[in-house]
Chains A and B, each alone.
Chain A
């Protein structure tokens, strides 16, 4: 991240924490109220491409962390410069229960499938998302399956192992 952007961010927003670890590893931690304004600020400042939205479950802290991965498109006629190919991470902590966040679709339309995925795997409700319907899963789970307190072993033993083998005339199963 170049210094002018860092200064502008620092002077525009209060509670930003910018962590830079080597090249291509810059993250901005913000409170969740400021996420949309920082996202829109970064979009205006050139970071106009949303790679992905990711979610991390910090069960010890009792929080979910949402991560927006941003980078910038090359402008027409621009020469490739590795400095401009940097990714920028925007991170925020939200409580695990109730896990709510405002949808970033008004800024980045591509956020739609990522938010649906996070909704079904981590149980985060995105306010303002037009259709939070299942994306990958065929069934609903009591605990969203990617949360750390989802006991896969117990689930497999309770559900998949309870399905009976086919009993054929000559005895048990095949």
Chain B
């Protein structure tokens, strides 16, 4: 352990705990997931950074959206995101979640993922290298340190807008709102 960080550990132990135990949901969206197996196994070994894939969203706090998101996948993404316990961090991986990428003029992929769920950071590129995941993870550490990775708080605060967009693209959702929506 870095001795310089001792003060941080004493000041905010929970935050440091979140930083160094990012458990990523093993959720495969599009083609970007092909970069994840080498990242988590011996070649790049994401465990150095405390990142581990987790099979269940209920035990995870990092959500990597890897690649283009079709409308049907968006429904699964929303369900998964809402099941994750707080604090939770989302990272859009690749150019497709950012603005549609090469699938922009497609009839069935959504273009801007941040209209439907809050995103804490983006990794640009098509495809980003596994190293980019680690750059993103170290950057996410900085954001957590500065309380800037607040996507889950924004989701609570602006939930009525997110829910309205989700219902618009999915023609209604089958589950009730996660948070109460104030009238008007």
Which A residues are CB-close (under 8 A) to B105? 152-153, 156
Closest B residue by C-beta to A155: B107
Closest B residue by C-beta to A146: B107
In the assembled complex, the CB of A169 is this many whole angstroms from the nearest CB of chain B, namely: 8
Complex CA–CA separation, A144 to B72 (angstroms): 17
B107 near A167 with CB under 8 A, answer: no
Complex CA–CA separation, A136 to B169 (angstroms): 15
B86 CB-CB contact with A under 8 Å: no
Complex CA–CA separation, A136 to B70 (angstroms): 10
B106 near A174 with CB under 8 A, answer: no
Which B residues are CB-close (under 8 A) to A136? 72, 108
Which A residues are CB-close (under 8 A) to B106? 152, 156
Main SS class of interface, A: loop
B114 near A166 with CB under 8 A, answer: yes
Which B residues are CB-close (under 8 A) to A164? 115, 161, 165
The count of residues in chain A whose C-beta lies closer than 8 Å to any C-beta of chain B is 21
B7 CB-CB contact with A under 8 Å: no
B75 near A138 with CB under 8 A, answer: yes
Complex CA–CA separation, A54 to B75 (angstroms): 28
A97 CB-CB contact with B under 8 Å: no
Task: Tell me which of B72, B112, B157, B165 has the highest count of chain A C-beta atoms within 10 A of its own C-beta.
Answer: B112
Task: Give the contacts of B131-184 with A (CB-CB under 8 A).
Answer: 154, 157-158, 161-162, 165, 168-171
B111 near A160 with CB under 8 A, answer: yes
B110 CB-CB contact with A under 8 Å: yes
Closest A residue by C-beta to B71: A138
Q: What is B's interface to A at a CB cutoff of 8 Å?
A: 71-72, 75, 100, 104-108, 110-112, 114-115, 118-119, 154, 157-158, 161-162, 165, 168-171
A-B contact pairs, 17 of them (CB 8 A): A136-B108, A137-B71, A138-B108, A138-B170, A139-B71, A145-B108, A152-B106, A152-B107, A156-B100, A160-B111, A163-B169, A164-B161, A166-B114, A166-B118, A166-B154, A167-B161, A168-B157
By Cβ-Cβ distance, the 3 closest A-B pairs, closest first, are: A145-B107, A138-B71, A152-B105
